[in-house]
Structure 1
Amino acid sequence: MNEVMWAFGRASGIVSLGLFTLVLVFGVVSRSGRPLLGLPRFSVALVHRSTSLIALVFLVLHVGTLMLDPHAKLVLQDAVVPFISGWNPLWVGLGTVAFDLVIALVVTGLLRNRIGQRTFRAIHWAAYAMWPLAFAHALGSGTNAGDLLFEAFAWACAGAAVCAVIWRLSRGFAETSAARLGRV
């Protein structure tokens, strides 16, 4: 049973990395106001939200199964307080900071109407910090880090995330009403 928990913990972490990469990409596309693969703009935002929820489920499964696994010995404090883990404190700590940022993003997403659009957007920029922290956590603390297939997957995710961020920061991003109206 222990090996099943360990394997499920690792697998859910890998799936989380892929899903959070999609969340970042869909978020950038949604913000651009452009359609994606024939989907109307509002559908891109819905795909972004839905993928976010699925990614959150896999992240909770990742943390939860590692808390139940006697080999990982992850405790609640390790999951919410960075850099105190007895095992690999730096790499687990980076994952903890990423997890804490995800919690902040979820809470502000739920309170979006109460806190206002400006505050929501300001806090939502934390997603750009969360992703590289999660990526570093995956490469540094993951037992699959030496596996060629995992590394190819992780670096493909990194390539997609970097391309999306570069596009988001570029002059050609054109977050304008013309882009939102589909004239770009």
Structure 2
Amino acid sequence: MWAFGRASGFISLALFTASVLLGIVNRSGRPLLTLPRFSISILHRNIALLATVFLGLHVGSLMLDPFARLRPVDVLVPFLGSYRPLWQGLGTVALDLLLAVVVTALLRQRIGPRVFKAVHWFAYAAWPVAMAHALGNGTDAGSAWFLALAVASAAVVVGALLWRLSATFLETTRAREGRPL
């Protein structure tokens, strides 16, 4: 179970990284290579869903693992775990933030776009918290391959976020010129 938990956690983090990137590209209004915006939106949603499935597998397998000793309360309430409580608690915080994003995505038609967008910003907070959890609690955190992937992922996400906040982001340019998004 331990090995499955490690692998599913790594896959989940990689997929959430791709989802964050696709979400930023989708919001820009630009196509990605030859994919139109609606395809990017569908790809973003499906990768986020797949990442959520792997996150469920990660948490579920570690709940069954005798070494991890995760209790149901540890999954929802941060910093109560017996194994590296700070780092495990960061994983719980990331899970809680992502649960809020998933719930509002499922209720999007009922809660409206403003609430959905406001809560969806939690994804920007969840990603670095999940990365900190992986670096502090992950068995592979000290290995060169994991550190290289973590640094590359962080560089790509930070770069995309800086682009998202810049004046060259298409959505921002359109808004400044008074054109509809």
Structure 1 length-normalised TM: 0.92
Q: Which whole-Å CA distance do the structure 1 matches of 2:5 and 2:33 have between them?
A: 32
* Structure 2 counterpart of 1:45: 41
- By relative contact order (CA 8 Å, sep 6+), the higher-ranking structure is 1
Structure 2 residue 148 is the aligned partner of structure 1 residue 130: no
Unaligned runs of 5+ in 2: 176-181
Partner residue of 1:105 out of 89, 101, 113? 101
Mapping of residues 3-22 of structure 1, within 5 Å: 5-22=1-18
Structure 2 residue 167 is the aligned partner of structure 1 residue 171: yes
Partner residue of 1:160 out of 153, 156, 166? 156
Structure 2 residue 56 is the aligned partner of structure 1 residue 57: no
Q: Which whole-Å CA distance do the structure 2 matches of 1:41 and 1:144 have between them?
A: 36
* Identity level (%): 61
* 1:174 Cα deviation after fit: 2.0
Unaligned runs of 5+ in 1: 180-184
* Structure 2 counterpart of 1:31: 27
| SS across alignment from 1:37 | coil
CA deviation map 1:6-55 (0-9, x unaligned): 00100111111110000100000000011012101100000000000000
Structure 2 length-normalised TM: 0.94
* Structure 1 counterpart of 2:178: none
Large movers: runs of 4+ above 4 Å: 176-179
What root-mean-square deviation, in Å, do the aligned CA atoms of Structure 1 and Structure 2 show?
Answer: 1.3
CA deviation map 1:103-153 (0-9, x unaligned): 100000000010000110011011110000000000000011111001111
Partner residue of 2:76 out of 77, 80, 95? 80
Letter in 2 for 1:121: K
Letter in 1 for 2:63: M
